[in-house]
Amino acid sequence: MTTTDSDAPVAPGDSVALSTQPLPPPPPQLGRRSPWQVARRGWRVLTSMRTALLLLVLLGLAAIPGSLIPQHSLAPSTVLRFQEKHPTLSKVYDKFDLFDVFHAPWFAAIYLLLFISLIGCVIPRTRLHLRAMLRRPPAAPRNLGRLPQSARWETDLPPDRAVELAAKALRRKRFRVAVGEHSVAAEKGYLRETGNLLFHLSLILLLAGIGTGSLFGYTGSVLLVDGHSFTNVAALYDTYKPGALTRSTSLSPFSVHLNGFDATYQADGEPETFDAHVTATTAGGKTTSNDLRVNHPLTFGHARVYLIGHGYTLHVVLRNKAGVVEYEDDVPCIPQDLTDYLSDCVVKAPNTGGTIPTVLKDPQTGQTATVDEQLQFAFLLDFVPTAAVTAGGVISTYPAPQRPRVIVQAYTGDLGLETGVPQSVYDLDTSTLNPVAIDLQHQVITPGGTDQTVALPQGYTLDVSGYGQWASLQVKDDPSKLYTLIAAGLIVLGLLLSLRVRRRRVWLRATPSASGRTIVEAGGLARTDADDFAREFPRLVARLAGDVRPSESS
């Protein structure tokens, strides 16, 4: 604990360091120690300040790899790329959970040990502090002149009166005062230790809050296309991460309909505003229109809905020779670059109603046969919001759709959707597919323009008849958030008290002297910040001596 920078001697019973136990005494003699002794010793070592400090530093060090090595929880795709690039190193990293540091058992071990150590420190120390607060300030030492701060003067007042006046003056200075026979003991600054304990208790509370939140809460995200709705049911999320004790069958009931999305940009392409226009419906059937913006989440009970991303959609229509629509959808495109919003859209149309003659080869006999396979189409469409033609091809120069174009690549072949192997709707493996040759003028088309139609084999056509927007929403439910926040506030309060308040003791003794005058001795001990107290003490003495001054007239 942050306590002192003084070299002042410390009265017995004052613990300067956090540890309630002094460092473990040397083991008695050789010989066997009982398990109880070993456990006691272990507990002492664990709850010593040195151990707590070591664990604290260890926790800091342990967090560093989490920022240097890509993390599953932050950037899963970066982790995959890293693993492809460094397969051997990745195996080692995986062994030590280095791709998921903050959920690794060893990381948890460090902070759990730290908090056990903290609890072991804080509880006994709280008991001591409570006792100290109930007790009177310790009585004056025999020789006040040997304290780091001391003073001495004489007065004509009788000792009783001098002590009484001094006690009054000290109380006015908000000292806690105990008056003895011809002596005063005073102490001030108990709030320092109170703050210190408050800080450490709140740290424990904070961790408890974080823990409960992750046990009972959940996080989910969903990509919502313009004109579509989302209802808060676990199965409808694109990704859904519940805590170990979350009851996923009873999530806060609400639904959100995306009416439209607006993004504005500065001239240099930096985003200016993002605004999702949504209609929210709560359990009672109450419907409200809202603007969901960055920094302005919507709240439904414990759950909050955040706008975390956006992108474009393309309206794609696939028709057969007769003009019958075989596939139609608003396909979300994933931005490849957030500065120009060049986006990839993947269209998979396995059921087109048509067939295609395919040459099959028997891997064992080497015989070939031609059979009619189902005609499947796949398209890779690159949406270019503001297109410019350069020597390297078509690029995007601005994130808003000022000159929207779509670069078309088409494929036929088995998409492998029936194999049961899960695949991402946003990725297309083209290695097993056959590219379709598209005539030059239809390789780059304008969505919704006169050139929007691309001719495909067997009389099929692809229309990119327009574009829209999608917004990605994140829903986060953390039932203990409020407690965590309160704990955080108390941490700051505790810190301020423990670092700003100074604790000090002042004693005063009045003795009658042979000359008939009273000798007043004062002593002071700073338990923190001795330099400040060295400045304060003479002023305090001036004040006390001024009040206990000899009446000059006598």
In the window 238-267, what residues touch another protein (CB under 8 A)?
266
Residues in the chain: 554
Tokens (6 digits) for 545: 């001596």
Distances (CA, A) of 70 to 67, 74, 301, 308, 554: 7, 8, 34, 21, 85
- DSSP type of residue 296: B
| Residue ranges with strand state E in 94-182 | 149-155, 176-180
CB-wise, 371 or 485, nearer to another protein? 485
Between 397 and 474, whose beta carbon lies closer to another protein?
Answer: 474
Beta pairing partners, 306: 474
Q: Which of 158, 180, 271, 466 binds another protein (CB under 8 A)?
A: 271
Closest CA to 138 of 173, 177, 174, 171: 177
Q: Rounded to the nearest whole angstrom, what is the least distance from the CB of residue 522 to another protein in the complex?
A: 8
Q: How far apart are CA 324 and CA 502, in angstroms?
A: 84
Measured from the CB atom, is 150 or 443 closer to another protein?
Answer: 150
512 lies in the binding site for another protein (CB under 8 A) = no
Residue number, 158 or 449, with CB nearest to another protein: 158
Show the site string, 317-356: x = touches another protein by CB under 8 A, - = not. Answer: ----------------------------------------
Of 37, 67, 287, 336, the one binding another protein (CB under 8 A) is 67
Beta pairing partners, 257: 229, 279
Whole-angstrom CA distances from 403 to 255, 312, 383 are 35, 14, 11
Taking the complex as a whole, the smallest distance from the CB of residue 264 to another protein amounts, in Å, to 9
Sole binder of another protein in the list 115, 218, 306, 383 (CB under 8 A): 306
Closest CA to 453 of 403, 502, 408, 386: 408
Q: Which range binds another protein by CB under 8 A, 56-64, 343-351, 396-404, 504-512?
A: 56-64
537 binds another protein, rule: CB under 8 A? yes
In terms of CB distance, is 436 or 545 closer to another protein? 545
Asked if 290 interacts with another protein (CB under 8 A), we say no
Q: How far is the CB of 20 from another protein (least distance, A)?
A: 14
Minimal distance, residue 504 CB to another protein, in Å: 15
Q: Does 59 bind another protein (CB under 8 A)?
A: yes
| Shortest distance in whole angstroms from residue 185 CB to another protein | 18
- Residue nearer to another protein on the CB measure, 190 or 265: 265
Q: Select from 318-326, 415-423, 443-451, 530-538 the region that touches another protein (CB under 8 A).
A: 530-538
Write out the two tokens for 235: 């199965």
- Nearer to another protein (CB atom), residue 456 or residue 545: 545
- 246 within 8 A of 213, measured Cβ to Cβ: no
Residue among 181, 67, 58 nearest 111 (CA)? 58
User: How far, CA to CA in Å, does 463 sit from each of 242, 316, 319, 403, 451?
Assistant: 40, 6, 8, 18, 9
Please report whether residue 85 would count as binding another protein according to CB under 8 A.
Answer: no
Tell the residue number behind the tokens 């999320």, with chain if given.
237
- Which of 4, 183, 320, 396: binder of another protein (CB under 8 A)? 4
CA 464 to chain centre: 42
Q: Does 73 bind another protein (CB under 8 A)?
A: yes
**Is position 184 an interface residue for another protein (rule: CB under 8 A)?**
no
Structure tokens belonging to residue 193: 């230790």
Residues that bind another protein (rule: CB under 8 A) add up to a total of: 79
Binding residue for another protein (CB under 8 A) from 8, 49, 140, 333? 49
Do 347 and 325 meet the contact criterion of CB atoms below 8 Å apart?
A: no
For residue 417, give the 3-state DSSP assignment: helix
Min CB(200)–another protein separation in Å: 11
Q: CA–CA separation, 203 vs 121, rounded Å?
A: 13
Q: Which of 82, 102, 190, 483 binds another protein (CB under 8 A)?
A: 102
Candidate list 230, 261, 274, 507; residue touching another protein; CB under 8 A: 274
Selected range binding another protein among 25-33, 178-186, 278-286, 484-492, rule: CB under 8 A: 484-492
Question: Of the listed pieces 24-32, 390-398, 445-453, 477-485, which binds another protein according to CB under 8 A?
Answer: 477-485
The structure tokens listed for 388 are 């410019």
Chosen residue from 113, 356, 400, 495 binding another protein by CB under 8 A:
495
CA diameter of the chain: 132
Interaction between residue 210 and another protein (CB under 8 A): yes
Give the contacts of 411 (CB within 8 A, at least 6 positions apart).
377, 378, 379, 380, 428, 430, 433, 434, 435, 436
